[in-house]
Structure 1
Amino acid sequence: MTVGTGTGTGDVAALRRWLDEASIDPAVGELRPDYRALLVAADGLRPGPSDGFSESMLAAAEADACGDPGAHPHVAAWHEAFRAFGAKPKRVRPSVDALLRRAPEGGLPRVDRLTDVYNAVSVAHVLPLGGEDLDRYAGPARLVRAEGTEPFEAASAGEPTVEYPRPGEVVWSDDAGVTCRRWNWRQCVRTRLTTRTTRAVFILDALGAMSDDALTAAGDSLTEALSAGSPGARTVTRLLRAV
């Protein structure tokens, strides 16, 4: 999906229109009424490989990462949420849990400068956080419980493949299929950030163990980092509640 060209207020209006169409299906609210998603849409981003800016953020996050992810109340709440739709969180971990476990065991991954930034914020604030290329979206973002027929574009041994979620699995999706499986476990190949991404949406996931103020603080950290790393970038946010 293209959300605008050029610069100025027109881009911000396009980002806001896209965010206004995002939704959470009531079935997800029945599962976890405490769920909230803070969506941050941005354009004018400066993409590229990992660099000194993203490295400094990752290094700071690694240094301050909590020592036992499973004991953190927000991570524990995500384990409960995964179990509620049939996932086993010790096998398919919430994204922030997986990152926190990597921090002391060789360090966080270095992927590209935009992915590095959101991973650093995820670890620093202990919440699942994903980023995707807005220009690769087909329609708005929707959080739903899958029917099991929605395509999920993945890769296996470097080759493209298509998978399908299990019925009832919580997934983010658009008009073309699943964009992220198991809530925040794995993103699809189609919409993932690349070294060419200039427009993106970032999704910050919170459950009841995280307050609205803490969620807002995480969002502020992300937007500040995006602005610092991409001078002139524009961001728009929207808070979605499950109920």
Structure 2
Amino acid sequence: MRDLETFLHGAHVDDAVFELRPDYRALLVAVDGLAAVGSSSEDELLAAAERHAGALLETSPVDELPHIAAWREAYRAFGAKPQRTRNSLEALTRRAPDGLPRINALTDLYNAISVLHQLPIGGEDLDRYVGPPRLVRAAGNEAFDTVAGGADVVESPDPGEVVWCDDAGVTCRRWNWRQGRRTTLRDDSRSALFILDALDPMTDDELNAAADDLVDHLGRLGPDPRTARRLITNPNA
């Protein structure tokens, strides 16, 4: 049986990332013992997220929503152009009024929670990890497996780009822009890692409320799934 607490204890956010955004917090949620679920069981939650995004966009342009605006600033800090490579929260919020994607139960779940609580969330297959997760500024020679033009390719991030990685390569580029294929959640995933990203003005209470909502719904996707969580904050803040 996997020791989730030990796995999370090995997670690390590099000081160079906190230098970009001293207010950054990563809340990691690890879960084991999930049942294999193919088609989405989260239609009601997705529909609620779509309605919520629609209501937000009736009162404010998407790039002026508080947490999306904060992530746009964070992207500019490491040289990314947020109008070209949108953080995952912005991409989903823009898409939600016309319908969020239906992929699989786990992915649909965290996408819905992301929109409802207005924070970027990434989901990874824990069984496909090689070593613990680390958030670093890339050297530029790391491997990132993705799809381009319908073909499988291996790319490298830009030097200085903020990336999540493990011992085998990059798992997510540009902080929370695009996830790699190797650790993508699948219909038969039984263990998962969820990364909830927060910047000011999001509070720790709001961040934990999003994690509570996620864990509550995860509890319905297995007979008795085990979960653990860890909040990583700036040690110099």
> TM-score by structure 1 length?
0.92
Offset of 1:194 from its aligned partner? 0.6
- 1:28 is displaced (CA, Å) by 0.4
Q: Return the alpha-carbon distance in structure 1 between the equivalents of residues 36 and 198 of structure 2.
A: 27
1:98 aligns with 2:91: yes
Matched, 1:208 2:200: yes
Which of 3, 25, 28 is equivalent to 1:39? 28
User: Tell me, which stretches of 5 or more residues in structure 2 are unaligned?
Assistant: none
1:154 aligned onto 2:143 = no
Q: Partner residue of 2:65?
A: 72
**Post-superposition offset of 1:230:** 2.7
Aligned residues: 230
Q: 1:209 to 1:47 in 2, by over 3 A?
A: farther
- Does the 8 Å contact 1:132/1:193 carry over to 2? yes
Q: CA deviation at 1:164?
A: 0.4
Between the aligned partners of 1:157 and 1:94, the Cα distance in structure 2 is 21
Aligned: 1:57 with 2:45: yes
Deviation at 1:48, TM superposition (A): 2.7
Answer yes or no: is the 8 Å Cα contact 1:28–1:242 preserved in 2. Answer: no
Equivalent in the alignment of 2:162: 170
Bigger mean CA deviation after superposition, 151-160 or 197-206? 151-160
Deviation for aligned residue 1:86? 0.4
Deviation at residue 242 of structure 1 after TM alignment: 3.0
Contact 1:131/1:203, CA 8 A, preserved across alignment: yes
Question: Partner of 2:5 in structure 1?
Answer: 16
SS at match of 2:91: helix
Aligned to 2:190: 198
Deviation track 1:30-59 (CA, whole Å, cap 9, x = no partner) reads 1111000000000111233333x3111101
Which residue matches 1:8?
Answer: none
Q: For the Cα contact (< 8 Å) 1:47–1:114, is it kept in 2?
A: no
Q: Which residue of 207, 228, 235 maps to 2:220?
A: 228
Aligned to 2:115: 123
- Structure 1: where are the runs of 5+ without partners? 5-10
Structure 1 partner of 2:74: 81
Q: CA RMSD in A?
A: 1.0
Between the aligned partners of 2:117 and 2:163, the Cα distance in structure 1 is 22
Matched residue of 1:153: which SS? strand
- What SS does structure 1 have at the residue aligned with 2:63? helix
Residues 62, 107 of structure 1: 8 Å contact kept: yes
Whether the aligned pair in 2 keeps the contact of 1:47 and 1:113 (CA below 8 Å) is no
State how far apart, in whole Å, the 2-side matches of 1:241 and 1:146 are.
20
The sequence identity of aligned pairs, in percent, is 57
Asked if 2 retains the 8 angstrom alpha-carbon contact of 1:64 and 1:124, the reply is yes
The TM-score normalised by the length of structure 2 is: 0.94
1:107 maps onto 2:99 in alignment: yes
CA distance in 2, matches of 1:153, 1:242: 29
